[in-house]
Structure 1
Amino acid sequence: MVHAFIMVNTTAGKSQGLLESVRGLGSVQEAHIVAGDYDIVVEVDAGEVYDILQTASGDVQGLEGVVDTKTYIAID
């Protein structure tokens, strides 16, 4: 199992509306609006690294209002 965090930047005012869409994605375990450099932090579990990257680059980045993402794969 691969565990990762996807940091999401959104268009101004879109975080709340995107939160439920992000939480509805298949491999997403948790998602939270946060204060700081990013707008939403997404916690993801998947079978392979490829699946994590697909979630980040395909699913999350494909949502209207998502400006940018950064993906961090847990190594512990």
Structure 2
Amino acid sequence: MVHAFIMVKTGAGESERLIDSIRELANVTEAHIVAGAYDIIAEVDAPEVYEVLSASSTEIQGFEGVTDTKTYISMDE
């Protein structure tokens, strides 16, 4: 199992509109609106690294209003 965190930067005022869509993605276990350099942090659990990358690059980046993502894969269990 691969555990990862996807940091999501959104356009102004878009976080609240996007949070539920991100939470509904198959491999997303949690997602929170946060203050800081990024606007949303999504926690992802997936069987393979490819599925984490797909969640980030295809699914989340595919939402209108998402301007950037950064993915961090957890190195501990």
Alignment TM-score > 0.5, same fold: yes
Q: TM tier, shorter chain?
A: over 0.9
Structure 2 residue ranges without an equivalent (≥5) = none
Which residue does 2:59 correspond to in 1?
59
User: Quick one: which amino acid aligns to residue 46 of structure 1?
Assistant: A
Could you say what secondary structure the match of 1:63 adopts? coil
Structure 1 residue ranges without an equivalent (≥5) = none
Which residue does 1:38 correspond to in 2?
38
In 2, Cα distance between equivalents of 1:47 and 1:24: 18
> CA deviation digits over 1:3-46, x for unaligned, max 9?
00000000000000000000010000000000001000000000
Could you say what secondary structure the match of 1:56 adopts? helix
Which residue does 2:11 correspond to in 1?
11
In 1, Cα distance between equivalents of 2:3 and 2:30: 12
Equivalent pairs, count = 76
In 2, Cα distance between equivalents of 1:20 and 1:64: 14
**1:29 equivalent in alignment to 2:14:** no
**1:70 equivalent in alignment to 2:70:** yes
Kindly report structure 1 stretches of 4+ aligned residues shifted beyond 3 Å: none
In 2, Cα distance between equivalents of 1:30 and 1:50: 19
User: What is the RMSD computed on CA atoms of the aligned residues?
Assistant: 0.3
The percentage of aligned residue pairs carrying the same residue is: 63
